[in-house]
Structure 1
Amino acid sequence: MTRVGITFNKNHHLHDSLLNGYPCPENPQRIQNILEYLESSGLIDGEIFRFYDSIPASVMDILRVHTREYVDLIKACTRDPRQSPGNDVYVCPSSFDVTLHALGCVLKAGDLVISGECRHAYALIRPPGHHAGPDSCNGFCIFNNSGILARYMLEKKGLERIAIINIDAHASDGTYAAFEADPRVLCISMHQDQKTLYPFKGFIKDIGVRPAIGYCINMEMPTESGNPEYSLFYDEVAEKILDKFNPQLVILECGFDAYHKEPLAKLNLTVDGYYRIIFKLASKWNVVTLLEGGYHDDLGLLASVVLRALAGLENIKDEVDQIDLLASRHAKTRKEFNNNLSLLKARLEPYWGHI
């Protein structure tokens, strides 16, 4: 068995804001940087890690999450790229085809894992998806990649319990909107305090609606939170609830903008922080990881960290001095984190018991 299968949408470069005449941080260079880094690292050996081709998804796959009216809006905007379907969302004439190829990569990644051909999979796709709800989109996203994969697995593959975990710096508001009333899908999002960062949604109080109250979990990470806070939240809340839920598949919305070098957020995860969460997930459950945000120069480095964690290989050396990083941050970070963690535990106790 190949430990980790990798897919990527080869036509992603046709979705490019420069085709509309302006720059955007969500651009083709993101995946290009990752692929160049992986090639130069020699990590992809064809045995532990292997690339797989995929075929485009269908419109019917998109309709598992999104409304027909919304899909028609996206198509209309591609015919007139001067129109935008949402805030901070651009489209080009080929964007719809690019999204179909991206979703095809996502579904292929899921098939590889469920069939047993691979233990885990990593879909290196763009545009990202976690801000796209059933009938709207924002924040560089067009269609909800993780949501469409989850519904595909429920409806076509017969799965009954799926967990979607978000570690992007921004709240997974589109995924929340799609599954807030679906107890088959456990959504856990750990993201920067939404009083300080777009989309200004995803608060601790937001835990889903009937019949799925308690199945949408939002942890607000104070600005400057890093490896210690993420580890505590994962160990004390996320993993315990995952153990109780016992998912048949974990879909990881893996944004790299919680990284300490990210210019669009204020969190301090390092390579060790990413590695630890993903390694712990992969040691217990089958994981399909999807590329989400991240707009700095270390995307390739972090992608290699994800692959190592999924495969159970030793991590690369973390060059960040954790003592200096902790000393340089504001003293109230840990206090705010502890308060938030206590509030969340109290909020979830009626649904998950004492955690």
Structure 2
Amino acid sequence: MLNGYPGPENPSRLDRILDYLSLNRYLDDGRCFMFMSEPAAMEDILRVHTQEYVDSVVQCISQSRKSPGKDTYLCEGSFEVLLEAAGAVIRAGDVVACGACDHSFALVRPPGHHAGATTSGGFCIFNNSAILARFLKHSYGTQKIAILNIDAHASDGTHAIFSGDPQVLCISVHQDPSNFYPYNGFIRDIGIRPALGLSINMEMPPRSGNTEYAILFEEIIEEVLKDFKPDIVILECGFDAYYKEPLSQLDLTVDGYYHIIGLLASRWKVVCLLEGGYHEDIGMLSAVVLDGLMGRRTIPDEVDQIDLLASRHVNTRREFHEKLSRLKFVLSPYWNIGKPRLCKVGDAI
């Protein structure tokens, strides 16, 4: 059982979001709709997770003192909640894939990006983005899917699932994992054949903020996505890269989230999935995401960027540019990011 249950990942996260959206009348202007969903079927789960792993989750639920993995907990009713969450994610992808919506945002918990095919961790049991990607391939024949993680913690489970899949591009932008959970997701990790170059990890130095993220997106992520030409982008939308987050040391603000969401939504079909974020502004940031998806701005950024920059370590920008240069070097054989590509994505070098 997680020490201090219910811990930071608990039902109050969704309560804060729904309360904020209701108070600010986000469903009242006809531009944003709420869709109902059904629980995921077991076949949806088993496209990603093994039967043995699913059975172990069920066993843990029946034995309340048994945890399925580090920093994860289950209780009576958890399996139904997991299926409801996966079903909501599938519905969010379905309405975009069928053309009912341009973009969508699945407000679900628990998060999923640390869960592998046979493993849990970091509050994650089932990998929602992987379940959605496999659903889209199965139900719509979607050829190219990009999964982009902006949670402060590396999307290690998602990358492990798709590390050898040449039809799924996985990008994770997260705090430097050298001394930070999950302690993997390094720049050198680029996938395996036949999908070399399709796993991309950026180690953001502590106190990286809006400017560093904007540079990274402009110089690498946009170029990779334009080159890959995804049919749909699944965004693992973690709010723990926010400057108020107690569990990480990154400095995105409202403007930073607006920029990322607006940029993606202006170019691709986007399905956002709620991942981490354990601070008081999670409701407001969810509204920021919806505004970004709808191409409007209603929430001002009240952070003084000059003060924020002045308060951080002087080495942050230098470390960021060193890591950015290293990432460009590692990816340059596979992607058009400044010089001719030496080989096709998926090939060995």
- TM-score, structure 1 normalization: 0.93
1:343 to partner: Cα distance? 0.3
Matched, 1:218 2:196: no
Q: Report the Cα distance in structure 2 between the residues aligned to 1:81 and 1:342, rounded to whole angstroms.
A: 48
> Paired residues, what number?
338
2:187–2:201 contact (8 Å) kept in structure 1: yes
Matched, 1:54 2:37: yes
1:338 to partner: Cα distance? 0.2
The residue that corresponds to 2:343 in the other structure is: none
1:308–1:315 contact (8 Å) kept in structure 2: yes
The residue that corresponds to 1:124 in the other structure is: 107
1:295 to partner: Cα distance? 0.4
The residue that corresponds to 1:30 in the other structure is: 13
Query: Given the alignment, which residue of 218, 223, 229 partners 1:246?
Result: 229
RMSD of aligned Cα (Å): 1.2
- Superposed counterparts of 1:275-354, under 5 Å: 275-354=258-337
Gaps of at least 5 residues in structure 1 are 1-16
Q: Report the Cα distance in structure 2 between the residues aligned to 1:321 and 1:263, rounded to whole angstroms.
A: 20
- Superposed counterparts of 1:195-234, under 5 Å: 195-234=178-217
1:132–1:144 contact (8 Å) kept in structure 2: yes
Q: Report the Cα distance in structure 1 between the residues aligned to 2:252 and 2:335, rounded to whole angstroms.
A: 28
Q: After TM superposition, where is structure 1 displaced by more than 2 Å over at least 4 residues in a row?
A: 20-23
1:152 to partner: Cα distance? 0.7
1:171–1:194 contact (8 Å) kept in structure 2: yes
1:309–1:315 contact (8 Å) kept in structure 2: no
What is the identity percentage for the equivalent residue pairs of Structure 1 and Structure 2? 59
AA aligned to 1:340 is: K
1:190–1:219 contact (8 Å) kept in structure 2: yes
AA aligned to 1:218 is: N
The residue that corresponds to 2:87 in the other structure is: 104
Matched, 1:78 2:72: no
1:354 to partner: Cα distance? 3.6
1:257–1:295 contact (8 Å) kept in structure 2: yes
Matched, 1:165 2:136: no
AA aligned to 2:44 is: D
2:173–2:202 contact (8 Å) kept in structure 1: yes
Matched, 1:89 2:66: no
Q: Report the Cα distance in structure 2 between the residues aligned to 1:277 and 1:228, rounded to whole angstroms.
A: 11
Q: Report the Cα distance in structure 2 between the residues aligned to 1:165 and 1:260, rounded to whole angstroms.
A: 20
1:64 to partner: Cα distance? 0.8
Q: Report the Cα distance in structure 2 between the residues aligned to 1:51 and 1:218, rounded to whole angstroms.
A: 33
AA aligned to 2:200 is: I
1:275–1:315 contact (8 Å) kept in structure 2: no
1:42 to partner: Cα distance? 1.4
Q: Secondary structure at the match of 2:334?
A: helix
The residue that corresponds to 2:346 in the other structure is: none
2:177–2:183 contact (8 Å) kept in structure 1: yes
Higher mean C-alpha deviation, range 279-288 or range 45-54: 45-54
Matched, 1:261 2:244: yes
1:321 to partner: Cα distance? 0.2
Q: Report the Cα distance in structure 1 between the residues aligned to 2:240 and 2:313, rounded to whole angstroms.
A: 20
AA aligned to 1:142 is: I
Q: Which deviations, in whole Å up to 9, do the C-alpha atoms of 1:271-293 show, x marking residues without a partner?
A: 00011001000000010000000
AA aligned to 1:123 is: A
AA aligned to 2:37 is: S
Q: Secondary structure at the match of 1:274?
A: helix
1:21 to partner: Cα distance? 7.9
2:153–2:174 contact (8 Å) kept in structure 1: yes
The residue that corresponds to 2:342 in the other structure is: none
Matched, 1:180 2:163: yes
AA aligned to 1:114 is: A
